[in-house]
Amino acid sequence: MGADDVFPIVTTADLDRLLTFYTDALGAVEHYRFPPEGPPGYVGLHVGKASLGLGHDLDHQPSTGSIALWFYVDNCDATTARIRQAGAPILEEPTDQPWGERIARAQDPDGNSLILGQRPRSPGAGAGGVPTDG
């Protein structure tokens, strides 16, 4: 027996701000809201095939942690530009990596670490250079 799925929940004191950021800058799609009426305490998002939760806590204080959210995107440069336009800091401009991916590093409006990865154009390589096709 073990876990069969996992999704991160980002806690914030300003849920509306983060919801707008993740939907506008990264194309996330809201699929769940609780409570369904009035200001939400939790919003569930789909990001492609993945899920991301946003939890509201008025007393939450952002901190620098050891977790980063990795988003695979179709175009690293265009997504980095959207994040910059949304007012979030870009920590590392898009750069081609030795394993074939193109990545950039940014922060969301609460300071959470984001990594934007564009998959390699050549078949057989994945994150960290690990082969994906055996």
The residue range of the domain holding 34 is 9-58+67-124
pLDDT at 133 over 50: no
Cα–Cα distances in Å, from 95 out to 40, 87, 131? 37, 21, 20
Per-residue model confidence (pLDDT) at position 33: 96
For residue 2, being part of any structural domain is answered with no
Please answer whether residues 42 and 57 qualify as being in contact, where contact means their C-beta atoms are separated by less than 8 angstroms: no
Q: What pTM did the predictor assign?
A: 0.78
Pairwise CA distance, residues 82 & 79, whole Å: 5
For residue 25, being part of any structural domain is answered with yes
For residue 4, being part of any structural domain is answered with no
Tally the domains of the chain.
1
Per-residue pLDDT tens for 57-115?
Answer: 988 887 766 688 999 999 999 999 999 999 999 999 999 999 899 999 999 999 999 99
For residue 23, being part of any structural domain is answered with yes
| Alpha helices, H only, the chain | 15-26, 76-85
Q: How confident is the model at residue 129 (pLDDT cuts 50, 70, 90)?
A: very low
For residue 17, being part of any structural domain is answered with yes
- The number of CA neighbours under 13 Å toward the Cβ of 72 is 9
**% of the chain at pLDDT higher than 70:** 87
Q: Where residue 106 sits, what CATH number does that domain have?
A: 3.10.180.10
For residue 129, being part of any structural domain is answered with no
